[in-house]
Protein backbone atom coordinates (compact mmCIF):
# COMPACT_ATOMS: atom_id res chain seq x y z
CA UNK A 1 0.00 0.00 0.00
CA UNK A 2 1.30 3.42 -0.96
CA UNK A 3 0.06 6.41 0.93
CA UNK A 4 0.22 10.04 -0.08
CA UNK A 5 2.11 11.89 2.63
CA UNK A 6 0.19 15.02 1.89
CA UNK A 7 -3.43 13.95 2.00
CA UNK A 8 -3.20 10.39 3.39
CA UNK A 9 -5.02 8.81 0.48
CA UNK A 10 -3.90 5.24 -0.15
CA UNK A 11 -3.09 3.59 -3.47
CA UNK A 12 -2.39 0.02 -4.42
CA UNK A 13 0.50 0.77 -6.76
CA UNK A 14 3.41 3.17 -6.78
CA UNK A 15 2.36 4.39 -10.20
CA UNK A 16 -1.09 5.27 -8.98
CA UNK A 17 0.50 7.27 -6.20
CA UNK A 18 2.78 9.09 -8.64
CA UNK A 19 -0.15 10.00 -10.81
CA UNK A 20 -2.00 11.21 -7.79
CA UNK A 21 0.94 13.39 -6.74
CA UNK A 22 0.60 15.37 -9.93
CA UNK A 23 -2.82 16.55 -9.00
CA UNK A 24 -2.84 16.28 -5.25
CA UNK A 25 -4.09 19.59 -3.98
CA UNK A 26 -2.28 19.19 -0.73
CA UNK A 27 1.19 18.81 -2.17
CA UNK A 28 1.67 21.47 -4.78
CA UNK A 29 4.89 22.87 -3.39
CA UNK A 30 8.31 21.27 -3.36
CA UNK A 31 11.34 22.15 -1.25
CA UNK A 32 14.59 21.79 -3.16
CA UNK A 33 16.50 21.93 0.07
CA UNK A 34 15.04 18.81 1.70
CA UNK A 35 12.96 17.33 -1.12
CA UNK A 36 9.75 17.59 0.85
CA UNK A 37 6.33 18.19 -0.59
CA UNK A 38 3.66 20.15 1.14
CA UNK A 39 0.68 22.35 0.53
CA UNK A 40 0.70 26.07 0.09
CA UNK A 41 -1.36 26.32 3.22
CA UNK A 42 1.38 25.04 5.50
CA UNK A 43 4.18 26.90 3.74
CA UNK A 44 2.88 30.41 4.02
CA UNK A 45 0.74 32.40 6.35
CA UNK A 46 0.39 35.60 4.41
CA UNK A 47 0.70 34.29 0.86
CA UNK A 48 3.92 36.21 0.44
CA UNK A 49 6.63 34.65 2.58
CA UNK A 50 7.09 30.95 1.97
CA UNK A 51 8.99 28.69 4.27
CA UNK A 52 9.54 24.94 4.41
CA UNK A 53 7.30 23.46 7.14
CA UNK A 54 10.02 20.97 8.06
CA UNK A 55 11.60 22.21 11.26
CA UNK A 56 14.97 20.73 10.38
CA UNK A 57 15.04 22.48 7.05
CA UNK A 58 15.76 26.13 6.47
CA UNK A 59 14.49 26.26 2.91
CA UNK A 60 12.47 29.32 2.18
CA UNK A 61 11.35 31.67 -0.53
CA UNK A 62 9.00 30.77 -3.34
CA UNK A 63 11.11 30.50 -6.48
CA UNK A 64 14.26 29.98 -4.43
CA UNK A 65 14.21 26.85 -2.27
CA UNK A 66 10.51 26.34 -2.62
CA UNK A 67 9.05 25.78 -6.04
CA UNK A 68 5.68 24.83 -7.44
CA UNK A 69 5.36 21.33 -8.81
CA UNK A 70 3.73 22.70 -11.92
CA UNK A 71 6.70 24.97 -12.55
CA UNK A 72 9.10 22.03 -12.35
CA UNK A 73 7.01 20.11 -14.83
CA UNK A 74 6.78 23.09 -17.16
CA UNK A 75 10.55 23.50 -17.02
CA UNK A 76 11.29 19.89 -17.83
CA UNK A 77 8.94 19.62 -20.76
φ/ψ bin of 8: left (φ > 0), alpha (ψ from -120 to 50), beta (otherwise): left
Please state, in angstroms and rounded to a whole number, the distance separating the CA atoms of residues 10 and 70. Answer: 22
- Answer yes or no: are the C-beta atoms of 40 and 53 closer than 8 Å: no
Contact with Zn ion (CB under 5 A): which of 4, 16, 42, 69? 4
Of the residues 6, 28, 30, 51, which one makes contact with Zn ion according to CB under 5 A: 6
Q: Which of residues 37-66 bind Zn ion (CB under 5 A)?
A: 52, 54, 57, 59
Q: List residues near Zn ion by CB under 5 A.
A: 4, 6-7, 24, 31, 33-34, 36, 52, 54, 57, 59
Amino acid sequence: MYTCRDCNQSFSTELALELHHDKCEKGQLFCESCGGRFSERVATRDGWHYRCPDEDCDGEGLGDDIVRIEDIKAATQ
